[in-house]
A and B are shown apart, each in its own frame.
Chain A
Amino acid sequence: QKEVEQNSGPLSVPEGAIASLNCTYSDRGSQSFFWYRQYSGKSPELIMSIYSNGDKEDGRFTAQLNKASQYVSLLIRDSQPSDSATYLCAVIRGSNYKLTFGKGTLLTVNP
């Protein structure tokens, strides 16, 4: 079982729709959870972090964490073409606070 798994995609949504990105992790001791956005040819940039169960909202983005199910999700409301990118789920685990990434999900928002 991979440490961090994401739905493989690619995911295509129309402009204005809600994009839903999912991630599961294997280590129950994982402490912190992040969503990074990576445009083609660019480096990852942090868009959301979440540490406790429940929802966290920031503008059009909502991160959801369910530690019992070992599940993290990212919802993007009112999707825009500029949201088209690869979204990386990442998890911090272990005493060295190692950040482990999933493979990423490519999102395309069609005008």
Chain B
Amino acid sequence: EAGVAQSPRYKIIEKRQSVAFWCNPISGHATLYWYQQILGQGPKLLIQFQNNGVVDDSQLPKDRFSAERLKGVDSTLKIQPAKLEDSAVYLCASSFSKGFGDTQYFGPGTRLTVL
């Protein structure tokens, strides 16, 4: 079974530029998550999708971050404009559903450096 795919793996941009990340979840997984992991911290949930609807985006900085999940499969996360504090690893995860017992499987992440 193929895992969660993410691209690009690394990205370096200047502040105020825009950037987009792509995620393809495990086939059949209805729930998709984007996390931000700053160095030395645990992952922080940015947004959670159930199929193509948003379940939780309470910690998404909506003035600069946006996300969508096309047709309930792939997802993109965009930052525009980027700030220095956005330097982090952006992790995509998926699970079969959003139940309390469902395991979340993580992709390899995208390491973003904002200069």
Question: How many A residues, CB 8 Å from partner?
Answer: 22
Question: B45 near A92 (CB under 8 angstroms)?
Answer: no
Question: How many B residues, CB 8 Å from partner?
Answer: 23
Question: A102 near B106 (CB under 8 angstroms)?
Answer: no
Give chain A residues whose Cβ lies under 8 Å from the Cβ of B102. Answer: 97
Q: Which one, A49, A88, A96, contacts B103 given CB within 8 A?
A: A49
Question: B98 near A96 (CB under 8 angstroms)?
Answer: yes
Give chain A residues whose Cβ lies under 8 Å from the Cβ of B61. Answer: none
Give the secondary structure class of A's interface.
strand
Report A's interface with B, CB cutoff 8 A.
4, 31-32, 42-46, 49, 51, 88, 90, 92, 96-104
**17 residue pairs from A and B, CB less than 8 Å apart:** A32-B100, A43-B107, A43-B108, A43-B109, A44-B43, A44-B91, A45-B106, A51-B101, A90-B42, A96-B55, A96-B56, A98-B45, A98-B48, A98-B56, A99-B104, A101-B44, A102-B42
